[in-house]
Structure formats: structure tokens, C-alpha cells
Amino acid sequence: MDRQLQVDQQSLVSAWQERLPALMEDGESFSVQGDAANQNSLLIHFNAAGRQGYSLDFRCTYVDSREVAVDLLDAEQHGAPADDHLEAVQALAQQYTRQIHECAQALQGITNP
């Protein structure tokens, strides 16, 4: 594993919870929690706006203090597994991946002091 971040995971979760709403669309919601298996990772759950009922789960892992790797873990529609190859899911995954990268970049003052 690459070097440990200089910020503890709970502080990172709090910073994400404060910063991420500014990047979200109206009607969307999210949750952020630390990944118990990896101190350099966060688990981020998004609930998409609209009646389609999509929710997506991502793992955001800090490769180093400036770069994150984002992995789509799960996609659901109304609580049931959704095909992550569907165009709607792909579009949401790209949007949320971009928002995760933007948030990580905005928080570089914390992760890369």
C-alpha cells in the first residue's frame, strides 16, 4: 500500500461531508463513511434525483495525497440490483466519479498540506 495519508479517516469523512453537497445536483443525496478495510479509502453512497430510483456505491481510495482512484461497487434501482451497463447508470457513474474527483481536488489542502 502507498504511504498513509497524514489526515485521519474520520477528519477526512467530515471534510467530505462538508464539501460534497456543493457539487451535488438538486434532489440528490449522499452518505460518506470510512472504509474499515483501508484507512486511505472512503465509501460513498449516492441517491440520484428523480423517479428512476437509482443509487450508486463507490470506493474512493487515496493513491497518494493528491490522487484518488474511484471504483463503482454497486448500482441499484428502487433497492434492487441494476445493470451497471445501462446508459442511465453509466451516465450517473460518470457524473458521480467526476464529482468525487472534484471534491478530492477541493480538499487537497487537507490531504496534501
Q: Closest by alpha carbon to 3, among 61, 69, 64?
A: 64
Check if the beta carbon of residue 16 is closer than 8 Å to that of residue 31: no
Measure the CA–CA gap between 89 and 63, rounded to whole angstroms.
Answer: 25
Name the DSSP class of 86: S
pLDDT at 1 over 80: no
- The pTM (predicted TM-score) of the whole model is 0.93
* pLDDT band, residue 3 (cuts 50/70/90): low
Strand partners, 38: 35
* pLDDT band, residue 84 (cuts 50/70/90): confident
Name the DSSP class of 71: E
Q: Please write the tens of the pLDDT for every residue from 15-46.
A: 999 999 999 989 999 999 999 999 999 999 99
